[in-house]
Structure 1
Amino acid sequence: MAHSHTPEAHAKIRRDHAQETAEDYVEAVADLVAERGTCRVVDLAERFGVSHVTTLRVVKRLVSEDLLKTEPRKPIELTSAGKKLAAACAQRHEAVYRFLRKLGVSKRVAALDAEGIEHHLSKPTLKAMRAFTAG
Structure 2
Amino acid sequence: MTTTPRKRSARAAPLPDLPAEPDQAARHLRARTARAGSLLEDYVELIDDLHVTGGEARAADIARRLGVSHATVSNTINRLKLAGLVHSKPYRGVFLTEAGMALARTVRARHRIVVDMLVAIGVPQDVAETDAEGIEHHVSEPTLQAFEAFLQTLR
Same fold by TM (over 0.5)? yes
- The answer to whether 1:74 aligns with 2:105 is no
Structure 1 unaligned residues grouped into runs of 5+: none
Normalising by structure 1, report the TM-score: 0.88
- The answer to whether 1:95 aligns with 2:86 is no
- The answer to whether 1:54 aligns with 2:72 is yes
- The answer to whether 1:19 aligns with 2:40 is no
Query: Aligned partners of 1:74, 1:18: CA distance in 2, in Å?
Result: 28
Structure 2 unaligned residues grouped into runs of 5+: 1-15
RMSD between superposed Cα atoms in Å = 2.0
Q: Deviation string for 1:46-71 (max 9, x for gaps)? A: 01100000000000110111001103
Runs of 4+ deviating beyond 4 Å: none
- The answer to whether 1:41 aligns with 2:56 is no
User: Could you tell me which residue of structure 2 aligns to residue 113 of structure 1?
Assistant: 131
Query: Aligned partners of 1:91, 1:54: CA distance in 2, in Å?
Result: 26
Query: Aligned partners of 1:17, 1:98: CA distance in 2, in Å?
Result: 22
Letter in 1 for 2:142: P
**Who wins on radius of gyration, i.e. which is larger?**
2
Query: Aligned partners of 2:117, 2:136: CA distance in 1, in Å?
Result: 11
Query: Aligned partners of 2:35, 2:125: CA distance in 1, in Å?
Result: 26
Q: Aligned pair count?
A: 130
Letter in 2 for 1:110: A
- The answer to whether 1:29 aligns with 2:37 is no
Q: Secondary structure at the match of 2:123?
A: coil
> Could you tell me how far 1:18 is from its partner in structure 2?
2.6
Q: Secondary structure at the match of 1:120?
A: coil
> Among 78, 82, 93, which residue is 1:64 paired with?
82
Structure with the higher helix share, 1 or 2: 1
